């Protein structure tokens, strides 16, 4: 029957090795939670968890601003709002290391240069794949675009559910938190701000 079983994506063979002390830390946590890390179903869990955490935290190995280094200056006179909305992302809160799952809307008002639209999502993911608080994530994404694209304005709105609040503590599923960071014309000019928030759906 085993020939009917397809390749196991969690098969540790061919995966990067996980140092023993890292696996030990996860065994300690399993024990602390109340289970037996030596039972069969949990034997490979420490290595899997360790590799998963490397993936959740890929952002530590990158500088998100590199995604804004390839700019297009031929914008054909376009100097209106550029908006990417409903960008899904995942992060982890630095207080509980619990998932933060949400979506972001990122807008900027170009001066003389634009970037490929997917780059805005890459900047978001570069900062989200770290241990975060939502307020800082929002501010880091906005500042990165403000500093590197030098637009007339930047607006970032993030809406997310925090598992540390929905799955533990006050246990309030369905509750989401909204944070925003504005720069330039979106901060200074009320009409620009109203326009961008309306287009974002707020
Ligand atoms: Zn938390």
CATH of the domain at 25: 1.10.286
- Does the annotation count 125 as an active-site position? no
pTM above 0.75, yes or no: yes
107 within 8 A of 154, measured Cβ to Cβ: yes
**105 and 45 in one domain?**
no
Tokens of 178: 């909204």
Of residues 174 and 190, which shows the higher confidence score? 190
**125 and 39 in one domain?**
no
**95 and 23 in one domain?**
no
Compute, in angstroms, the gap from residue 173 CA to the centroid of ligand 1. 14
What's the domain range around 45?
A: 16-56
Compute, in angstroms, the gap from residue 178 CA to the centroid of ligand 1. 15
**pLDDT digits 0-9 by tens, 100-155:** 999 999 999 998 889 998 999 999 999 999 999 999 999 999 999 999 999 999 99
Compute, in angstroms, the gap from residue 64 CA to the centroid of ligand 1. 24
**138 and 83 in one domain?**
yes
Domain count, the chain: 2
**99 and 36 in one domain?**
no
């Amino acid at each position: 029957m085993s020939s009917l079983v397809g390749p196991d994506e969690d098969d540790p063979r061919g995966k990067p090795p996980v140092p023993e002390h890292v696996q030990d830390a996860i065994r300690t946590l399993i024990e602390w939670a109340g289970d037996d890390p030596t039972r069969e179903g949990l034997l490979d869990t420490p290595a899997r968890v360790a590799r998963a955490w490397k993936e959740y935290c890929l952002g530590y190995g990158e500088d998100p601003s590199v995604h804004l280094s390839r700019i297009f200056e031929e914008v054909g006179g376009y100097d209106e709002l550029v908006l990417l909305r409903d960008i899904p992302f995942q992060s982890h809160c630095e207080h509980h290391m619990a998932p933060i799952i949400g979506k972001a809307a990122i807008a900027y008002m170009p001066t003389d240069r634009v970037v490929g639209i997917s780059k805005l999502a890459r900047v978001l993911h570069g900062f989200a794949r770290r241990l975060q608080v939502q307020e800082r994530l929002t501010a880091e994404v906005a500042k990165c675009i403000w500093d590197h694209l030098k637009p007339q304005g930047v607006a970032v709105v993030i809406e997310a559910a925090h598992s540390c609040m929905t799955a533990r503590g006050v246990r309030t599923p369905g509750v989401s938190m909204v944070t925003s960071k504005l720069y330039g014309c979106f901060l200074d000019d009320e009409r620009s701000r109203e326009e961008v928030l309306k287009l974002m759906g707020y």
